[in-house]
Structure 1
Amino acid sequence: MRKYSVYIGILIIGIGIGYVLFGKRAAVASEGVKEHKHTEKEQMWTCSMHPQIMQPEPGDCPICGMDLIPADQTTDGLTSGQFRMTENAMALANIETSVIGKDALTEGAIKLSGVITENEEENAVQTVHFSGRIEKLYVKYTGETVRNGQLLALIYSPELVAAQQELLTAVSLKSAQPALYEAVKRKLASWKLTATQIEEIERSGKVKSNFPVYANVSGVVTEKNIEVGDHLKEGQAMFRIANLNTVWGAFDAYENMISSLKIGQKVIVRTHAFPEESLEATVSFINPVLDKKTRTVTVRVLLKNKDERLKPGMFIEGVIKKNETAKQGGEAILIPKSAVLWTGKRSVVYVKPEHKQAVFEMREVVLGALSGDDYVVISGVSEGEEIVVNGTFTVDASAQLQGKYSMMNRKEEKKKEENIITPVFSEVFQQEMQQIINGYIQVKDALIKGDYQLIKDAGVKNLEVFDNVKTTDFSEKEKGLVSQLKKKTARITTATALGVQQKEFKKLSDAMIEITEGFDQKGRTLFVQFCPMGDENRGAKWLSYEDEVMNPYFAGEMLRCGSVVDTLQKQ
C-alpha cells in the first residue's frame, strides 16, 4: 500500500514540474501562432514600379513581370496630401532629393527663356485680286523660297477674260472714245495687272484664258492655303510669305522681373541648336499687357538672319548683361529647374517632410527669375526643406496612382474673393447663353476628331446660333461679352490650319469658362477639364457636358490627357 502511495506521489510531482516547464511556453507559442496568422492575413504585395498593383500573396507583377514585394501599409502620421513610396521604387526610379538653401544670385543678371518667331513686320500675305479657278500651281509646299516677281500660279478667270475682250474692243475705238479706253485700263489695273501686261494684251490682240499670278514679295512660304482646282474669290489669301532675313527672339519674363527690364538693354542670345555661338541684340519691345494665365510679359529682340540659320520655333536663352539691370545681386532661395513641374498656371515641387522617411507631398511654389540653372523661389518652400530634384515625374505618377494631390489631380477650391471679381449675369443672359454653350460643345467635339473642315463647319454653325440670340434685354456688358465670343468663334472659322484652330479654341474656351463661372442659376452640368500639356505645355482648359476626358487639343491623339478641375452650373 505504501509502495503505491509513493508512485502516485511521484506522478503528481512529475505532472506539476511538466506544467511549470512546458505549459507557459506552449501558451506563448499558441499566441504567437495566432499573431502570425493575423499578420499573414493582412500582408499585401505590390510592384515597386507599379504601386497600384496590390495582391494578397507574392508573385509576378501582371504589368511588367517583376517580383512583387511586401507592401508598406503604414500610414500612421500621414496627412491627406502625403503619400509613401517604397525604398525599392525610389532606387529603381533614381529619385534624388536635396535640402534647400540660400545661395548668392548672379549679380545684376537676368536669364530668360524664349523662342525664335517670324518678324511680323516682314510678313506678307499673297492674295488673288480677281476670282477664278487655279489651273496650275508652281509653289507646291510650305518652306519653299520665292522671289519677288516669281510666277506662282495660272488662274482661269471668266471675269478677267471678259475684261480683256473689253480692252481689245476699247483699243479699236480708242480714237473715237478715249475715255472708254482709259476706263477699261483702270479696271484691269485695279486687279493688279501691270502696265506691261496690259500693253502685251493690246499688242498681241489675243485674250489669255489662263492668267499668271506673280509674287509681290520675296521670302519663305509659311502657309499654303490653295490647291490646283480650287475656286478663289477676289482678295482670298493664297500664301503667307515671311522674310526671314530678320527674326524676333521672343522671351517670357515673369512678373517680378518687370522692374529690371527696359527698352534698349543689351541681351546675349544663345540657341539650343548652336549652343557654342552667341548673338548680341537689344530689347526692342516689352509687352505692356501681362498674360494673366502665365503671369509673364513678352520681351522681344530683333535678330539678323541673312544666312537663315535661325529658324522660327527654335528654343533660345537670353541673358541681360550685369551692368544693364536695375537690381543688384544678393541671397535668395534657389531650387534646380529639374525639381519643378509646370501645369498651366501652377508650378509645383515635391517636398519630403521627414528626412528619414520616404514620404512626400506636393507643394505649389511661386517662382522668380532664373539664376543659372536654378529658379529663385518667391514663396512655397523654405530654407532647410528637402525637395525632389530628380525623378519628379515618377513621384508625381505615384501620387496620382495613390489618389493624392498631384499635377493632374488637384482639388480646386473657389475662394470667396472670386465672387467679387466674377460677374453676376441677368437671368435672360444665362438662359440665352445655353444655346451658345451647345454650339461651343459641337466645336469642341469636332476638334476631338481633328478634322479641319469639320471644325470649320461647326464654327460656322455656331456663328448662326449667335444671330439667333435675343440681346434686347441684355446689359451693355452682356452684349459686349456675346460680341467677343462671336469674334473668337469667327477666328476658328477663318483659321488656315488645324493648329491655328486649336489655339483660337483655347482663347474661346478661356472666355467661355470665365463667363459660365459667373452663372448663379442651374442648368446642364458643365465640367471644366484641364490638360497641362495643351497649348505647347502651357496648359489648356475646355468645357464639356461629360466628366469623361476627351482632349480636343491633340487631333484625336492623347484623348485621355487631362482631368476634371471644376464643375459649373450644376443641375
Structure 2
Amino acid sequence: MKKYIIYIGILIAGVLLGWLLSGGSSSNEKEHNHTTTATKKMWTCSMHPQIMQPEAGDCPICGMDLIPAEAWAEGLAANQFKLTKNAMALANVQTTVVGNAKSTDGVITLSGKIAENEQSNAVQVSYFAGRIERLYVNFTGEKINKGQLLATVYSPELVKAQQELLTAVSLKESQPALYKAVRNKLKLWKLSENQINQIEKTSKVKENFPVYAMVSGTVSEKLVEQGDYVSQGQALLKIANLSSVWANFDVYENQISNFKLGQQISITTNAYPNETFKAKVSFIDPILNPETRTVIVRAVLKNSNQKFKPGMFVTGKVAAKQAAAEEELSIPATSVLWTGKRSVVYVKPESEKPVFEMREVILGKKVGENYQITKGLNSGEEIVTNGVFTIDASAQLQGKKSMMNHTKEIVTSFTVPEKFKEQLQKAYNSYIDLKDALVKTDADAAKTRAENLQKDLALVDMKLLTDEEAHQQWMQLIHRLKSSSTEIAKTTDVAVQRTYFKTLSDNFITAVQFFGINEVTYKQYCPMADSDKGAYWLSKEKQVLNPYFGDMMLKCGEVKETINSN
C-alpha cells in the first residue's frame, strides 16, 4: 500500500513539475515576444527624421529627446515623404492644380515702369556767362510755365554788350550796319525786342539780367544753385512735360514674336486698382539687352490729369499669339526648382494627404509669370507653388531624393568661364567674412561686410555667361543675393541680420553648386535656427561654428555636404 502511495505521489509531482515547466515556458515565450516587439519599435528625432534608433535616448545631432517613430513613415513609395500639419503651416506650403494654359495664359502679363516722355523733355540753358544772383526755382518737381522768371544772372559780357548798344544808338544814323549788328548780338543771347528797346529808351545798363523759361513743364532736375557761375550754353534745369508719359515693359526674347507696333495693351497700376488704361505699342527696342535678355516694349499714355508718376510700377497685358499655348499645360514660375539644366517640381499625389514627391519636368516658353510644360505633368495633378525650398529641405532631411542632396545631379551641364568663377569666388570670400561676423555676434562688422559683399556681387559680370540657361539662372540668383545682402547692410540688429542671412545662404549655396568656385566648401545645417525650422550656411572649414546663434549655441549643427565644385 505504501508502495502505491509513493507511486501516486511521484505521478502528481511529475504533473505539477510539467505544469510549472509549461507555464514557465509560456511566460518566457511571452517575455521573448514582448522583447521582440519592443525591439521592432524605433525612435527618431523630431528635428532630424533621418535618425532611427531601436531605443529611447538623445539625438546624436542636436541632443533632443528621441520620440517614437510615426507609423505613417512606413508604406510610402521610395521617392515620397510626408510632412506634419504643423510643418506645412510653418512653411506656408501652398499648392495648385495644374491647368491648361488657355485659362490662365490667354494673355501675356508684363511688368513695367512709368518713365518721362523724352520727346517732350527740354533743358533750360543760360545763353550768356555769369553768376546766378537769384534762383527762383526752389525744388525738383516744381511746375513752371513758359515765360516764367527762373533766375537773374550778373554777366560782365552782357554789361559790355549793353554799353556797345548805347554807343551804337548814337551812331545809328551814320553807321546803321553797326547798330543792327549790336542788336542782333543781344538777340543771340535771347534778349527780347522789348528788353533791347527798354535799354535804348532808358540809356541805362542792367547789371542783372533775367532768365525766362522757354517751355512749360515740371522741373525734373536742378543743375545749379544760387551763387554758381555758369558758362554760355550751360544747363540750368531739366524740364519734363508730363502731359504724356512712357510705359516701358521688359519682354523676354522668347516672347518677342507676340508683339508688334500698334498692338493694343491694357495697363493697370496699384495706385488705381479699379481702373484699366488702354494704349498702343509705339516702340519695340531693336537691340536686346545682353544682361537681362530682354527688349523694351513701350506705350505712350496720355497724362493730362497727372495720374501717372515717373517711376511708378505698372502691369501690362496683351493677347498671346501662339495657338500652341492653348494645348500646353501651364504652372507658376514659383513652383520650379532648377538643377543645372534640369527642372523639377514637387507633386502632391493625394490631395487629402500631406505626401509629396519630386518630379522632373521639361519647360516650354515662359508666358508672363507662368511656364508652359511640355513633359512631366498631367492636367489635374496638384503641385507645390509656395514653400518649395522648404519642401525640398524636408525631403533631404528624410533621406529622400531632393535637389540639394543629389550633388551629382545638380552639377552644371553648361560651361562657366573661369573669369566668372573668379568673380564669384571674391563674392564668396565676402560672404564668409559676413558669416564670421555673425558667428561673433558682431552686428556692426556684419553690416560693413554685407556692404563689401554688395560691391563684390556688383562686379560679377553676367555677360560672361554665354549659355542662355546659365544666364537666366544667374539672373534669378543675383536679384535674391543683392536683396538679402542689402537688407543686412541696412541694420545693426543682429536678429534681423540673421533672418536675411538664411535667405542669402540658401541662394549662395545654389550659386556655388551651379557655377562653382575654386575651392572646397562645406554646406552646414542647424535644425534649431529660424525658429526650429532649420537653416543652412557655407563654411571654409568642417568645424561647425553657428552664425545663427553665435556663443549661445556655437557648435549646434552638422556638415551636410562637401561641395568640391572646381
Taking structure 2 as the reference length, the TM-score comes to 0.59
Q: Does 1:164 align with 2:158?
A: yes
The answer to whether the 8 Å contact 1:245/1:308 transfers is yes
Partner residue of 2:523? none
Distance 1:117 1:290 in 2: 19
Q: Is the aligned partner of 1:18 residue 2:23?
A: yes
Instruction: From the superposition, tell whether residues 282 and 195 of structure 1 become closer, same or farther in structure 2 (CA, over 3 Å).
Output: same
| Residue pair 1:166, 1:184 contacting (<8 A) in 2 also | no
Asked whether the 8 Å contact 1:163–1:188 carries over to 2, the reply is: no
Residue pair 1:516, 1:569 contacting (<8 A) in 2 also = no
Mapped to 2, the partners of 1:330 and 1:183 lie a distance apart of 72
Structure 2 residue 508 is the aligned partner of structure 1 residue 514 = no
Deviation at 1:288, TM superposition (A): 1.8
Q: Are 1:56 and 2:54 counterparts?
A: no
In structure 2, the residue matched to 1:97 is 95
Alpha-carbon offset, residue 377 of structure 1: 0.7
**Who wins on radius of gyration, i.e. which is larger?**
2
Aligned to 1:44: 46
Counterparts in 2 of 1:368 and 1:35: CA distance versus 1, 3 Å: closer
Partner of 1:478: none
| 2:202 aligned with 1:208 | no
Q: Structure 2 matches for 1:116-127, cutoff 5 A?
A: 116-127=114-125
Change (3 A) 1:180 1:99: same
Q: Do the aligned partners of 2:84 and 2:354 also contact (CA within 8 Å) in 1?
A: no
Contact 1:366 1:379 in 2 (8 A): yes
C-alpha distance in structure 1 between counterparts of 2:45 and 2:105, whole Å: 56
1:28 to 27, 33, 39: 33
Q: Check the 8 A contact 1:352/1:386 in 2, yes or no.
A: yes
Which of 320, 327, 330 is the matching residue for 1:335? 330
Q: Give yes or no for the alignment of 1:383 onto 2:382.
A: no
Q: Structure 1 residue 247: deviation in Å? A: 1.7
Aligned to 2:298, the other structure's residue is in SS state strand
Please give the per-residue CA displacement for 1:143-186, whole angstroms capped at 9, x wherever unaligned.
3222122233445x5xx2x2234234424543579888878767
Residue deviations 1:250-301, cap 9 Å, x none? Answer: 3344444433432233444444444544444332222222344544432222
How far did 1:16 drift? 0.4
Q: What is the distance in 2 between the residues matched to 1:506 and 1:147? A: 46
The C-alpha deviation readout for 1:397-416, integer Å capped at 9, x for no partner, is 5546869658xx99975545
- Separation in structure 1 between the aligned mates of residue 12 and residue 122 of structure 2, nearest angstrom: 122
TM-aligned CA deviation for residue 28 of structure 1: 2.5
Aligned to 1:430: none
| Cα distance in 1, alignment partners of residues 382 and 165 from structure 2 | 85
Paired amino acid for 2:296: T
Question: Which consecutive unaligned segments of at least 5 residues does structure 1 have?
Answer: 48-52, 60-68, 426-432, 442-447, 456-501, 519-528, 543-548
SS in 2 for 1:244: coil
Bigger Cα displacement from structure 2, 119-128 vs 556-565? 556-565
| Residue 263 (structure 1) aligned to one of 261, 275, 293 | 261
Deviations 1:365-412 (CA, angstroms, capped at 9, x unpaired): 444435xxx84615575334745465x1x3335546869658xx9997
| Helix, strand or coil at the partner of 1:24 | helix
- Tell me, in whole angstroms, the C-alpha distance in 2 between the residues paired with 1:111 and 1:530: 22
**Correspondences of 1:464-475 after superposition (within 5 Å):** none
Q: Alpha carbons of 1:91 and 1:309: their partners in 2 closer, same or farther (altered >3 Å)?
A: same
Distance 2:194 2:457 in 1: 47
- Runs of 5+ unmatched residues, structure 2: 50-60, 431-445, 468-472, 492-496, 520-565
Q: Does 1:396 align with 2:389?
A: yes
Structure 1 partner of 2:299 = 301
SS at match of 2:328: strand
Deviation at 1:23, TM superposition (A): 0.8
Change (3 A) 1:8 1:337: closer
d(CA) in 1 for partners of 2:408 and 2:152?
A: 57
* CA distance 1:106–1:28, shift in 2 (3 Å): closer
Alignment partner of 2:217 out of 219, 229, 234: 219
- C-alpha separation in 2, matches of 1:73 and 1:136: 81
Is the contact made by 1:268 and 1:281 (CA closer than 8 Å) also made in structure 2?
A: yes
Verify the 8 A CA contact 2:163 2:205 in the aligned structure 1: no
- Size of the alignment, in residue pairs? 447
Q: Which residue identity lines up with residue 140 of structure 1 in the other structure?
A: N
Report how far residue 72 of structure 1 moved: 9.2
Q: Secondary structure at the match of 1:331?
A: helix
Taking the TM superposition and a 5 Å limit, the aligned residue runs for 1:489-500 are none
Q: Is the 8 A contact 1:353 1:385 kept in 2?
A: no
Cα pair 1:105 1:330 within 8 Å, conserved: no
**CA contact under 8 A between 2:109 and 2:318: conserved in structure 1?**
yes
Contact 1:148 1:217 (C-alpha < 8 Å) held by counterparts: yes
Change over 3 Å in CA distance of 1:336–1:222 after alignment to 2: farther
Give SS of 1:307's match. coil
Name the amino acid aligned to 1:149: G
Kept in 1, the 8 Å contact 2:218–2:242? The answer is: yes
* Aligned sequence identity (%): 32
1:20 aligned partner, one-letter code = S
Q: Is residue 132–residue 229 contact of structure 2 (8 Å, CA) maintained in 1?
A: yes
Instruction: List per-residue Cα deviations over 1:208-241 (Å, max 9, x = no partner).
Output: 35x5433332112233444555665665544332
Question: Residue by residue, what CA displacement relative to the aligned partner does 1:306-363 show, whole Å, maximum 9, x if unpaired?
Answer: 2222333444444557xxx8655873334365855799x9998843164466335487
Deviations 1:185-222, CA, capped at 9 Å, x for gaps:
6776665555555555664624435x543333211223
8 A Cα contact 1:46 1:71, kept in partner:
no
The AA in structure 1 aligned to 2:388 is V
Q: Name the CA distance, whole Å, in 2 between partners of 1:305 and 1:252.
A: 22
Counterparts in 2 of 1:506 and 1:58: CA distance versus 1, 3 Å: closer
| 8 A Cα contact 2:348 2:383, kept in partner | no
Q: Distance in 2 between matches of 1:347 and 1:414?
A: 9
1:488 maps to what in 2?
Answer: none
Distance of 1:85 and 1:111 partners within structure 2: 34
One-letter code aligned to 1:56: M
Q: Is the 8 A contact 2:341 2:412 kept in 1?
A: no
1:126 Cα deviation after fit? 3.1
Report what 1:469 is aligned to.
Answer: none
Opposite residue 302 of structure 2, the aligned amino acid is K
Name the CA shift for 1:333/1:569 in 2 (closer, same or farther; >3 Å). same
Q: Secondary structure at the match of 2:157?
A: helix
